[in-house]
Chains A and B, each alone.
Chain A
């Protein structure tokens, strides 16, 4: 348990991706089976552990600590699991003997073998046996709230890195392909990664297959290409999904391989084919049902949920706009050309329920200029650009340059004024690199700058020096790590902010929320009085909705 707890402690505070990968790879290499497998499962969100309710934990700690002292402690720490981990020893000074601490695998098997009435006593015993850091890790696992900024994908990348320490480096896509067919503690997987065992054989083909990704069109890319070799489709503003169906097992995966089957029973239950389909998950009606495709913010109502109720299913019906086929039944068709795969897909979708599945339409064009015109004036507000795919392209996982492109509508742009700055992390910890920016709004006090968003990338290193210097030279107030900077009509820093989309938001004071805002340019040529008004942003939202 100690190794896993130490790993968590370090991951929480490590901002850089490479730093996290190193910590993870070292953990997988140095920790024995089956502990590392359970650790991997916990990180990838695949660990099944008997859950413990916060109320019970609170009762347990109050058996040994005065409620007033507990409250003072909780108020100070702010996190229940951490408070309990820290106060459990109370006034005791003796430290837990490391050699007698239970292993992660013991904790998992012990917890999962308990009857309902035995949980309380077992949790108490475990808390007594663990040191504070391991206690924290255990409580996070048991309450199911392991928030440490590590995605399943990152954990798999670390597995690949770890295998590369020998001379049999396994590619992450290969691990990804196996992943959904395996279960904790993944001993066969680790043996294969370390070159000590055969590649694990999958029990079911209904697993996630790594997806093919497109590159954004950049200056001059298309001039070199013949439009006749390419097909185009609308790029819809939903989320990329993979549907997998074999012998009664039907699964829906997100683009990163997360299993989202349970959140979309309406789509999954409608699957009447066998194979693997790549498509866009959207809310609203299919083309064939003649009702409109709804916006991303409607889709968001259905995302990040473990389960879904009937009201949600009624109000926000989901469907899949299909655009590729990886398997037809158990036949792997990924080596065929895009148009051949599409032909198979069209036949399959034709027989599928009309209200849940449709086929992504091709956009006819003969020159890149013509496609550019279409892209800038799409027939539907939920379209965010076009996809360009080489007609003969095979389906290849990863982001290869050439076969597939995405050509988005130009992102939105506004001129905003820097209001607050905060230091970055890691390499940027000595720079003010996170900026809150605002635009002008009518308030009871007249025209004022109101915050509308936050951006921490988009600028070059040289631009960062300029931004950092401005913050240091013009700080008017400090709130902990945050500095407020001068922002007056005739003095301040104007930033051109680009973003991918904009929605209404009740969570933000300004009433709008941007998607992926970034700093496009430093507008040292402009004064804050020239910056945009909130009305311009609300107009963007309205234009999007109409």
Chain B
């Protein structure tokens, strides 16, 4: 069988004509397999959704009870038959509940990695390499410039800054799902035990992480009306970066804008965003991790989706690995 007969890109996303399902579709479809809960991968309005229990829970939190007509939870490693196509979910190490999806028929196996990373992250199950013929990889940080440092060193920069500027409120920008909880957990693991304040947009997802056994320490809302800026002196406040440009941010004392993201590797990017303290903490692979993963899995062919596809395709060519870009649209950088 030609691989394209099992899975190929369409305007709605990757489509499996035999199994009659899409993977991470960007518009409503009848049957969707979802890798993880970030809003560009998991959208509402599909007929049937197959995903991990945690991804389904996250979709329910974000979109409400009727986010789809019917749902089915997949356990890691469990083999499920979808209209004659064998699918299975495997940990991707990206955020809580994130999975790679293996799609198999007549001895041909394609793995859709979704977003993934190889670094240590206590807030989700670690990536498991799955042998396959075709590996579909993301390339969010698919350029040789990206080398994510040890996240604990980055948290150390935050602590140094709090020591140097004890009167300033440290506003740490982190996306609501995954990054925020990972950053809070990292701050705890580095020995910080004071309360951490959060923006309202983070509350439900933080509660969910805690219910899944991930201890985040003492979390307090930073959204109290007429709160006293004095109370936030030297405090750590975690919120979605978009909130820092809004009137919300004015309640804090001389806010120090920090941003936890893999993009912070590039100085100009930090500068343009008005970030004073960049923290290079990413939920995606950096360049060496992408290369290591491909070398480890040794697929016969690599397909590259969203991100800097051309550079990773070029590298594969130089290594003699057949590779092509998929040019899928609709996936943004939300997860980082």
Residues of A within 8 A of B (CB): 9-10, 12-15, 19, 22-23, 26, 65-66, 68-70, 72-73, 76-79, 82-83, 86-87, 89-93, 95, 132, 136, 423, 425-427, 429-430, 480-481
Contact = CB atoms under 8 A, between A and B. Distances in A.
Interface stretch (B43-51, B189-197, B270-278): B270-278
A78 B244 CA distance: 27
B254 to A, nearest CB: 6
Contacts of A132: 147
Contacts of A427: 254
B242 to A, nearest CB: 12
B138 interface: no
B246 A430 contact: yes
Contacts of B69: none
Interface in B237-281: 244-247, 249-250, 254-255, 257, 265-268, 270-278
Contacts of B245: 423, 429-430
B266 A82 contact: yes
B254 A69 contact: no
B311 A12 contact: no
A86 B143 CA distance: 10
Given A22-B165, A82-B267, A86-B147, A429 B278 contact: no
15 contacts: A15-B276, A19-B165, A22-B164, A65-B144, A66-B314, A76-B145, A86-B265, A87-B144, A89-B288, A91-B144, A91-B287, A91-B288, A95-B149, A480-B272, A481-B272
B150 A95 contact: yes
A68 B276 contact: no
Which of B144, B150, B292: most chain A Cβ within 10 A? Answer: B144
A395 to B, nearest CB: 38
B71 interface: no
Contacts of A90: 144, 287-288
B215 interface: no
Contacts of A10: 277
Contacts of B224: none
Interface in B128-179: 143-147, 149-150, 164-165
A429 B274 contact: yes
B291 interface: yes
Nearest to A68: B314
Contacts of B247: 430
B308 A72 contact: yes
The list of the 4 closest CB pairs from A to B, nearest first, reads A86-B145, A93-B288, A87-B144, A430-B249
Nearest to B276: A13
B315 interface: yes
B257 A429 contact: yes
Contacts of A72: 143, 308, 310-311, 314
A423 B255 CA distance: 14
B69 to A, nearest CB: 37
Interface in B286-336: 287-289, 291-292, 308, 310-311, 314-315, 318
Contacts of A425: 274
Contacts of B147: 86, 89, 93, 132
Given A13-B270, A91-B144, 13 more contacts: A12-B271, A15-B276, A23-B164, A68-B314, A69-B143, A91-B291, A93-B288, A423-B245, A426-B254, A427-B254, A429-B244, A429-B245, A430-B255
Contacts of B270: 13
A481 B271 CA distance: 11
Nearest to A92: B288
A82 B269 CA distance: 12
Given A13-B275, A91-B287, A73 B145 contact: yes
A68 to B, nearest CB: 5
B314 A13 contact: no
Nearest to A472: B247
Contacts of B144: 65, 69-70, 73, 86-87, 90-91
A86 B245 CA distance: 29
A69 B267 contact: no
Contacts of A89: 147, 288
B311 A14 contact: no
Contacts of A69: 143-144, 311, 314-315
Contacts of B274: 423, 425, 429, 481
B289 A93 contact: yes
Nearest to B288: A93
A77 B145 contact: yes
A22 B266 CA distance: 24
Contacts of B292: 91, 93
Contacts of B268: 77-79, 82
A90 to B, nearest CB: 6
B281 to A, nearest CB: 15
Contacts of A480: 272
A90 B146 CA distance: 9
Given A87-B144, A429-B249, A9 B267 contact: yes
Nearest to A22: B164
A13 B278 contact: yes
Contacts of B165: 19, 22
A420 B315 CA distance: 42
A13 B277 contact: yes
Contacts of A93: 147, 288-289, 292
B260 to A, nearest CB: 15
B174 to A, nearest CB: 17
B168 to A, nearest CB: 9
A12 B268 CA distance: 10
A90 B291 CA distance: 10
A79 B315 CA distance: 22
A427 B308 CA distance: 35
B276 A426 contact: yes
Contacts of A481: 272-274
Contacts of A22: 164-165
A136 B249 CA distance: 32
A97 to B, nearest CB: 12
A13 B314 CA distance: 34
A89 B287 CA distance: 10
A88 to B, nearest CB: 9
A13 B273 CA distance: 10
A66 B316 CA distance: 12
A73 B310 CA distance: 11
Nearest to B163: A26
A82 B145 CA distance: 9
Which of A73, A78, A429: most chain B Cβ within 10 A? Answer: A429
Contacts of B145: 73, 76-77, 83, 86-87
B244 A430 contact: yes
B162 to A, nearest CB: 13
